[in-house]
Each structure stands twice: as structure tokens, then as C-alpha cells.
């Protein structure tokens, strides 16, 4: 495959060093002396347990993160548990999952938190118990060992710039756009929306955001909200959808109303439905992250910090803009169609 190949930006140099260090720890027994000065026991990573807790198990995005985490566990010889609530709005269940990991006495937790603040107490309890915590995708407001995730402010700017360009190609220089978002109060989504507004304003100052709607990560709600905008805003010239569920709902509404050819849409992330919408033109561009990398690198860093190694405090793999012109390029195709895995039973 090329399916297991990862795409990285410049920060991957640090990631590669972490991976090399962890592999060294795992195979330390084979390469060290058995004399008094050597490591006669198994590699330091042997027997470690890492729980990976995502925002929702029903999303291809988070299932791709599971796949990366599972592959890291296989490559590095550690036990990896994969968990998450069924909905990104179920913060209480995610808190309970962290508590469950504490009770199991795992060595580390890789967490994609559904709230900047609601997981703080559970994270603090985990760290007080000696469990290392790596956050991915969105930050929290309490202390953790490290963060891995896209700079969503910058990626949102990329989306605003691309939508501005697409609107200009329609011969329009003014009008309003819908910002279709998923869940309020989530740092990653908030940064994404702010970056979008900044990227749009810098390049298309006469085009403004009509409203930011929140759909609670529900495709049908996103479709209904888009339909409302199509009827209520005569000068609607574009739509930005801030995640894959929002993108799927927007694409459905655009197709159902016959607006595919004249309403530019830029969305975030990828899944089979969004990829199909990109192919048929109901979505014009996708800002694509690398959740497989989040999972693989999250487990890698969790092992590293559990064995006393240093890791980057923050690591950004970057984002790529996919469209019909490049969606079949091998590197972009890998990002649009990453491997997936299910939650642990």
C-alpha cells in the first residue's frame, strides 16, 4: 500500500526522532549488553498499556485515528485500547471513559477531548495517578504531557482563502456565506471558524459571514440549516462546513436544491460521503487533516513519555487542500482514504 504511507509537514522531523527513540527502547534488550552495565531485562516499553479515547466512534475520522493507534501498538509491541462515546456531544461519557482508564491502571492515555474544560478534572486525576496524558486534535486548559494536532487557525485560513477564490471564479465580489459548524465550545472547531473568517476577510473583504450555525454533529440538522440559508439569504455566495458531518449535510442540501454548479462549498476532513461529494462537485474543496498520524504518533509519544523520554510539547502535521484536480494524486488519495479501525470490544 500506499495506504499505510503518511503525509507530514516539517514538524515530522521531531516525530521521527520520537519514533526512533521509542523503537530503541523496545529493542533495547537485543542491542544492549547483559553485563553489569547493560540492560539485561526486556525493553522499557514491554508490557505498557495505552488507552486511546476519541471524540466519537461513529465517525470515519476517529476510526482512522484508531487505525493509526492500532498500527503503532503492533509496531511497538504494546497493548492499545480504543474507546470513545458514540456522539461528540456526549462529554459525560468521555469523562467516564477516562475514569475507566484510570481504574484499569493504564500507563498512558491519548485523548481527543470533546471539551476544553470538562475533561480537566479527570485528566488531573489520571496524572496524579502517574498516568501520562497526550492530547490530540484539540487542546484542554489543564496540563498534559504533549499535544498533537493541526493548527486549526491556519487550516481555517486556508479554507477561507480557497472559498474566496472559488467565489471569485463565479464572478462575484460581494455577498454572504454560511458557516456551518458542529459543536460549540470545542477549541479545534472554534479556531477553525476564526481562521476561516480571517482568511475570508483578508482576501474577500466584501464577502461576510451571514451566520455561524451549530448542528451538534448531526448530518440531517446540517442539511436543514443549509436549506434554511438557501431560502433566507438571496445573496448567499458560498458555504464553509467545519467538519465532516457538517460537510455531508451541506453537500446533501446543495445537491437536493440543484445548487451544485453555482454555490461553492469548502469543507473540512474526509470520509466516504465527503469524498463522493468532492467527486460529484457538491463540495468543491476539502481541507484534509491526518487522523491516522494523530493515532500513530499519539501512541508513540505516550510510550516515549512513559519510559522517561522527552517529546515535543506541540506537533502539527499540517493540512492539505484537496479538490477534483488533485484528489487522485497518490499522496492526496491516501489522506482522503486512510485505513480505519473500530473501537475495542
* Grid cell for residue 253: 442540501
- Distance separating alpha carbons of residues 46 and 67, to the nearest angstrom: 21
Reply yes or no on whether the pLDDT at 91 is more than 60.
yes
Reply yes or no on whether the pLDDT at 16 is more than 70.
no
Residue with C-alpha cell 477561507?
A: 160
With beta carbons less than 8 A apart as the criterion, state whether 173 and 238 touch.
no
Q: In what order do the strands lie in the sheet with 285-288?
A: 207-214, 175-181, 236-241, 265-268, 285-288, 320-322
C-alpha dihedral sign at 147, 57, 289, 12: positive
> Residue 185 has what pLDDT?
87
> Residue 35 has what pLDDT?
32
- Distance separating alpha carbons of residues 247 and 268, to the nearest angstrom: 7
> Residue 46 has what pLDDT?
72
Confidence of residue 2 (pLDDT cuts 50, 70, 90): very low
> Residue 217 has what pLDDT?
95
With beta carbons less than 8 A apart as the criterion, state whether 307 and 17 touch.
no
Reply yes or no on whether the pLDDT at 229 is more than 60.
yes
Strands (E), the chain: 49-53, 79-83, 108-111, 132-136, 146-148, 175-181, 207-214, 236-241, 265-268, 285-288, 314-315, 320-322
With beta carbons less than 8 A apart as the criterion, state whether 238 and 262 touch.
no
> Residue 40 has what pLDDT?
29
> Residue 26 has what pLDDT?
45
pLDDT, mean of residues 295-312: 97
Residue with C-alpha cell 495505552?
A: 50
Reply yes or no on whether the pLDDT at 291 is more than 60.
yes
> Residue 15 has what pLDDT?
53
* Residue with more model confidence, 301 or 9: 301
**Cα–Cα nearest to 307, from 15, 18, 13:** 18
**Cα–Cα nearest to 85, from 117, 114, 121, 57:** 57
Confidence of residue 38 (pLDDT cuts 50, 70, 90): very low
CA distances from 29 to 20, 55, 272 (A): 15, 37, 43
* In the chain, % of residues over pLDDT 90: 86
- Distance separating alpha carbons of residues 203 and 59, to the nearest angstrom: 33
The DSSP code sequence of 158-188 is HHHHHHHHHHHHTT---EEEEEEES-TT-HH
End-to-end CA distance of the chain: 27
* Grid cell for residue 23: 523503537
148-158 pLDDT per residue, tens: 999 999 999 99
Neighbouring-strand partners of residue 315? 148
> Residue 307 has what pLDDT?
95
* Grid cell for residue 29: 534488550
- Distance separating alpha carbons of residues 236 and 220, to the nearest angstrom: 20
Confidence of residue 22 (pLDDT cuts 50, 70, 90): low
* In the chain, % of residues over pLDDT 70: 87
138-184 pLDDT per residue, tens: 999 999 999 999 999 999 999 999 999 999 999 999 999 999 999 99
Amino acid at each position: 500500500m500506499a495506504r499505510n504511507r503518511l503525509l507530514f509537514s516539517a514538524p515530522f522531523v521531531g516525530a521521527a526522532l520520537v519514533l526512533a527513540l521509542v523503537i530503541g527502547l523496545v529493542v533495547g534488550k537485543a542491542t544492549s549488553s547483559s553485563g553489569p552495565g547493560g540492560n539485561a531485562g526486556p525493553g522499557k516499553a514491554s508490557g505498557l498499556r495505552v488507552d486511546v479515547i476519541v471524540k466519537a466512534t461513529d465517525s470515519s475520522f476517529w476510526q482512522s485515528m484508531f487505525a493509526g493507534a492500532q498500527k503503532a501498538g503492533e509496531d511497538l509491541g504494546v497493548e492499545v485500547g480504543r474507546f470513545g462515546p458514540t456522539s461528540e456531544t456526549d462529554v459525560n461519557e468521555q469523562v467516564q471513559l477516562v475514569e475507566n482508564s484510570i481504574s484499569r491502571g493504564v500507563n498512558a492515555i491519548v485523548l481527543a477531548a470533546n471539551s476544553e474544560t470538562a475533561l480537566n478534572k479527570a485528566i488531573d486525576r489520571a496524572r496524579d495517578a502517574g498516568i501520562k496524558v497526550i492530547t490530540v486534535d484539540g487542546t484542554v486548559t489543564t496540563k498534559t504531557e504533549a499535544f498533537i494536532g493541526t493548527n486549526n487557525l491556519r487550516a481555517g485560513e486556508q479554507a477561507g482563502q480557497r472559498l474566496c477564490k472559488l467565489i471569485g471564479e463565479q464572478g462575484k465580489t460581494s455577498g454572504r456565506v454560511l458557516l456551518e459548524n458542529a459543536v460549540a465550545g470545542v477549541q479545534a472547531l472554534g479556531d477553525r471558524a476564526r481562521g476561516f473568517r480571517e482568511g475570508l476577510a483578508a482576501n474577500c473583504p466584501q464577502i461576510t459571514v451571514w451566520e455561524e450555525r451549530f448542528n451538534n454533529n448531526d448530518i440531517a440538522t446540517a442539511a436543514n440549516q443549509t436549506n434554511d440559508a438557501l431560502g433566507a439569504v438571496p445573496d448567499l455566495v458560498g458555504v464553509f462546513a467545519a467538519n465532516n458531518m457538517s460537510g455531508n449535510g451541506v453537500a446533501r442540501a446543495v445537491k437536493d436544491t440543484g445548487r451544485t454548479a453555482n454555490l461553492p462549498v469548502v469543507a473540512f476532513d474526509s470520509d466516504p460521503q465527503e469524498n463522493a461529494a468532492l467527486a460529484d462537485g457538491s463540495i468543491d474543496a476539502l481541507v484534509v487533516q491526518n487522523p491516522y498520524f494523530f493515532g500513530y504518533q499519539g501512541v508513540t509519544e505516550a510510550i516515549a513519555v512513559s519510559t522517561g523520554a522527552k517529546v515535543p510539547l506541540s506537533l502539527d502535521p499540517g493540512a492539505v487542500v484537496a479538490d477534483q484536480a488533485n484528489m487522485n494524486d497518490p499522496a492526496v488519495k491516501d489522506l482522503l482514504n486512510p485505513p480505519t479501525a473500530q473501537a475495542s470490544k
